[in-house]
Amino acid sequence: MELMYKSTRSNETATASQAILKGLASDGGLFVPTQIPKLSVSVEELSKMTYQETAYAVMKEFLTDFTEEELKACIEKAYDSKFDTEEIAPLVKADGAYYLELFHGATIAFKDMALSILPHLLTTSAKKNNVKNEIVILTATSGDTGKAALAGFADVPGTRIVVFYPKGGVSPIQEKQMVTQKGENTFVVGIKGNFDEAQSGVKAIFGNKELEKEMDAAGFQFSSANSINIGRLVPQVCYYVYAYGKLYAEGEIKEGEKINVVVPTGNFGNILAAYYAKNMGLPIAKLICASNDNKVLYDFFATGTYDKNRDFMLTSSPSMDILISSNLERLIYKIAGEDDKKNKELMTLLSDTGRYDITEDMRACLKDFYGNYSTEAETAAVIKSIYDKTGYIIDTHTAVAAEVYKKYAAETHDETKSVIASTASPFKFTRSVMNAIDSSYDAMGDFELVDELSKIGNVKVPNAIEEIRNANILHDTVCEVREMESTVRKFLGI
């Protein structure tokens, strides 16, 4: 049976491939599956599967208008030697939890898990829908999506990619990864603003109907590589399913035994993927949502009020420095009884006033979630504590999740086995990580720190870091937020 996708703000529907192509619905809503499909494989079968086989078992349920051959070809091209480990997403047991390492791809962050397959899903979707236009990927990044999308789309025929990032709001390594990106079809722009302003600017460009007509006349159409694209979200469901199969295969859990999942959360896409996995039938008990000092999601789960009217904090976990969690809209739609009018009303309130309140009935639907946050001092302390105890080094985002898990366990005494989504390599945030271990490291240069981290953690420096060590800066455009559209026009020559 074909699974259709529907906008969270109207009755607009699309097939999976159409939803992937559009990225955002015409009314500004996000595409959601009309129902969450069930997993059709047993835990026993899952435990024997490779990552690629697991990905197919999950994605075929969501992307029903792709043939087996098309989907398997996309998976094969995505999860190959770009990853530095055969398992693609290894599980590491440390300090009483299981760390699901999602950073073994080309850009050493979890975004690779979905962005290595999105270009293939997108170009396949374009063929299926007889699209003749060149696809222009337009994306805002808080640090990781940008590089992963650039790496995925660089020199992919029939595509161009424009990435906006907050100048001064990403780590030095993150910025160097983006501004050294090769590829004739790539364009990287720093904006004088924060991530939320970059994301709102991108949404405004997507919503400009006049520009859409001009683009079409010039042979272009926009699509998105942000987690608002369903082609980003579906591949993220796969690694939670894979982790469960691995735990069972290794005798860590019994069949049907529930696990908790802990996710460091900014835009809400990664934890939403875990929620979808749970709804597919994966035995997940609690979804533990970990925030940094930008604790808009913690406050939402605690009070039922989403309020972005607060100071924007720059933290050592910059990919989570977000006050508008775009993907939360998909959850709001679901807990509003899939009522697009109610969801649209709340999203309009968010856009007009910066806040909204959910009803008691909607709050009752959030019982699967637990929210908490980690301060900067706590994040640094947990990195040091885990390293001192085990020798295992985690990055700042993973540390936010580790600290929140610690708080959850202390508060609830819940001993359910828990998987922590380890979303980035510590090599991406060397200064913050090394300073947490010992403040005397601060005297070192960025790449000296890389070598020292490799030494004390007994881990090889990833290729993604080696290749930017002496790379030339290829992108140096910086613009005001109000100039984002004109900057895109200039790049496309329209």
Do residues 165 and 190 make contact, with C-beta atoms less than 8 angstroms apart?
yes
Contact criterion met (CB below 8 Å) for 267 and 323: no
Q: How far, in Å, CA of 105 to CA of 108, rounded? A: 5
Residues whose CB falls within 8 Å of the CB of residue 108, separated by 6 or more in sequence, listed in order: 424, 425, 427, 428, 462, 464, 465
CA distance 26 to 11: 11
Rounded to 5°, angle at Cα 371 from 281 and 426: 90
Closest by Cα among 18, 30, 28, 64 to 331: 30
CA distances from 387 to 113, 384, 407, 474 (A): 26, 5, 19, 36
b/e per residue, 287-315, with b = 16+ CB within 10 A?
bbbbbbbbbbbbbbbeeeebbbeeebeeb
Residue 325 φ then ψ, to 5° = -85, 90
CA-CA distances (angstroms) from residue 37 to 86, 93, 286? 28, 31, 20
Phi, psi of 222 (to 5 degrees): -80, 150
The Cα 127–Cα 436 span in angstroms is 49
| Both tokens assigned to 374 | 């980690």
Spatial neighbors of 233 by CB under 8 A, at least 6 apart, are 114, 227, 269, 272, 273, 276, 327, 330
Q: Are 244 and 282 in contact (CB under 8 A)?
A: yes
Q: Report the first-to-last Cα separation within the chain, whole angstroms.
A: 42
Reading phi first (left if > 0) and then psi (alpha if -120 to 50, else beta), residue 38 is in: beta
The DSSP letter of residue 335 is H
Tokens of 413: 């005494």
Torsion of the alpha carbons at 156, 161, 165 and 167, rounded to the nearest 10: 90
Catalytic annotation, residues: 111
Residue written as token pair 């990619």: 161
477, β-bridge pairs: 189
Instruction: With residue 259 as reference, give the H or E element that holds it.
Output: strand 259-264
Give the C-alpha distances (Å, rounded to integers) separating 81 from 36, 78, 87: 31, 9, 11
Strand partners, 371: 289
